[in-house]
Amino acid sequence: MADRILANRDEFLRTQTIEHDAPVPKEIPQEELMRRMPRPLRHVKYIPVKNLVYFSKNNPPAFSYETKIKIPLAKDKLVVQVRNAGLNPVDLKIMNSYTRNMNRGVGFGCEFSGVVTEVGENLHGKWKEGDEVFGVYYHPNLGHGTAQSSIEVTPSKDVVLHKPSNIGFAAASGTLFCLGAAYNILDSLESKGQLSEKANVLINGGTTSVAMFAIQLLKYHYRIPNKLVLLCSEYGATILKSHFPDLCDELIFVNYVMSAGRIHKPLQDMINNRETISYDAETGQPISTPYDQGKFSIILDFIGGYQLLGHTDVLLAKNGAYVTTVGDYRADYTKDVYNAWDNPSANARKVFGRLLWTFDYTHFHFDPNAKYVSKNDWAEKCVELLESEVVKCIVDKVYDWKNFQEALDYLRKGHSHGKVILEVERF
């Protein structure tokens, strides 16, 4: 009996061993077998990012390492390793709007240049790794910025373009926001029939970056024959002459420093007396130059305030255009807030300007979101202007991004003559 039990046990064990070691049936597909087999969890991959953030206007910016870009990348996105970040006064306005501490860091900057390092699946036809690009990354309400080692860009929302080979990364990073603004201001004036070959243009703030691009567009692109009248300091006039020596005879400079508080007076005298008065830098002797262009048909105001606006009756021709990027209040980047409301008089002027003041008043706000590009294709046209060297970006200062506080202080004073650029660390 015992022998029979042992024999049955051995037979049972033998059959179990044979079944365990039997080959896998051929009818089970390999894919099905792989599906059934347990596999280890994949590790989530990220691109580490170093970025410059702040928590409110009352706390200085600092470097953060908390941002990470997840890969594989979404199908409609690019990752750009940032080489340079361009700074603009609007960056200071955005910072000033964060009056209380946020629970996360807010990024800084809205312009960039760099190299594509990752391409989403749906974008392989147009973009590839290694492409040199530049653009505008404008997200004032989301807290994103370009002063970081890498940014995740969505071409359907963000303006990103191949960088022209004839401009460097620093200049490219400071181009599209101000050039785009200048182009759209003038394109709008032209579409309304206000910018023609007879245009007589006054520019307040001649050495601002938008003004520098406007000067080039008016003279090199629109070919306006009349001389442009520029309000700036004596040093600013010297800067402009050095950058555009071929335009020295095409520009009339009026020194706002010598007429502080009553800048309309030398302009009014110029119109009434049909001459401009400048002064020799060495002897101080007055120099008279004939002026026969009359009142201005267009005033471009990049400084703000009432000094010109309060005297449009003597400065601006009937049915003229007054365009400001600042508004009725003079720009003060230590306290100006992004998207602040205009005062009641400015709002009334927008609505009733033609009826009550016989001129067209525009407070221009530039939104460089990609969805607005299709209206006039401004971004691609700006690239064409850069490639053909019709316009160029004037860079004032380039700072290592570790010296960001110096860059912000310089920008905040409002005395820059061209673009302020950050050199971003390779991280």
Q: How far apart (Å, rounded) are the C-alpha atoms in residues 373 and 210?
A: 18
pLDDT at 333: 78
Q: Which neighbouring-strand residues pair with 199? A: none
Q: Which neighbouring-strand residues pair with 119? A: 78
pLDDT surpasses 70 at 265: yes
Q: How far apart (Å, rounded) are the C-alpha atoms in residues 270 and 311?
A: 14
314 contacts 271 by C-beta, under 8 angstroms: yes
Q: Phi, psi at residue 228, to the nearest 5°?
A: -90, 135
Hey, is 421 helix, strand or coil? strand
Consecutive H or E run containing 300 = strand 296-301
Residue 270 CA: distances (Å) to CA of 211, 259, 274: 22, 13, 5
The pTM of the full predicted model, rounded to 2 decimals, is 0.84
pLDDT at 353: 52
270 contacts 294 by C-beta, under 8 angstroms: no
Spatial CB neighbours of 308, under 8 Å, sequence gap ≥ 6: 202, 204, 263, 264, 299, 301, 315, 322
408 contacts 92 by C-beta, under 8 angstroms: yes
pLDDT at 56: 86
Q: What is the mean pLDDT of residues 252-268?
A: 83
The structure tokens listed for 336 are 């100006």
Q: Phi, psi at residue 147, to the nearest 5°?
A: -80, 65
Q: Which residue has the tokens 């016989």?
A: 358
DSSP string, 90-153: HHHHHHHT--S--SS-EE--SEEEEEEEEE-GGGTTT--TT-EEEEE---TTTT--S-BSEEEE
Could you count the other beta carbons within 10 Å of the beta carbon of residue 183?
24
Q: How confident is the model at residue 60 (pLDDT cuts 50, 70, 90)?
A: confident
pLDDT at 280: 65
pLDDT at 370: 81
Lowest mean pLDDT among 170-174, 241-245, 280-284, 416-420: 280-284
pLDDT surpasses 90 at 338: no
Q: How far apart (Å, rounded) are the C-alpha atoms in residues 65 and 303?
A: 37
The residue among 17 and 128 whose pLDDT is bigger is 128
Q: How many C-alpha atoms does 388 have within 13 Å on its Cβ side?
A: 11
145 contacts 106 by C-beta, under 8 angstroms: yes
Q: What is the mean pLDDT of residues 354-375?
A: 80
Q: How far apart (Å, rounded) are the C-alpha atoms in residues 228 and 247?
A: 10
Q: What percent of the chain lies above the pLDDT cut of 70? A: 83
pLDDT surpasses 70 at 350: no
The structure tokens listed for 279 are 């002064």
Q: In 114-136, which positions are buried (b, 16+ CB within 10 angstroms) versus exposed (e)?
A: bbbbbbbeebeeebeeebbbbbb
Q: How far apart (Å, rounded) are the C-alpha atoms in residues 418 and 401?
A: 18
Q: How confident is the model at residue 307 (pLDDT cuts 50, 70, 90)?
A: confident
Q: How confident is the model at residue 118 (pLDDT cuts 50, 70, 90)?
A: very high
The residue among 374 and 297 whose pLDDT is bigger is 297
Q: What is the mean pLDDT of residues 39-44?
A: 50
Q: What does pLDDT average to over the chain?
A: 86
The residue among 336 and 217 whose pLDDT is bigger is 217
Q: How confident is the model at residue 349 (pLDDT cuts 50, 70, 90)?
A: low
pLDDT at 297: 97
Structural domains of the chain in order of their starting residue, each with its CATH number: 10-36 (no CATH), 46-175+394-423 (3.90.180.10), 178-363 (3.40.50.720)
pLDDT at 207: 94
Spatial CB neighbours of 100, under 8 Å, sequence gap ≥ 6: 56
Residue pLDDT, tens place only, 153-211? 999 999 999 999 999 999 999 999 999 999 999 999 999 999 999 999 999 999 999 99
* Helix count and strand count (H, E) for the chain: 12, 20
Say how many Å lie between the first and final Cα of the chain, rounded: 80
- Residue 326 corresponds to which amino acid? V
Q: How confident is the model at residue 13 (pLDDT cuts 50, 70, 90)?
A: very low
Q: How confident is the model at residue 238 (pLDDT cuts 50, 70, 90)?
A: very high
DSSP structural state of residue 261: T
pLDDT surpasses 50 at 21: no
pLDDT at 345: 55
Q: How confident is the model at residue 19 (pLDDT cuts 50, 70, 90)?
A: very low
107 contacts 62 by C-beta, under 8 angstroms: no
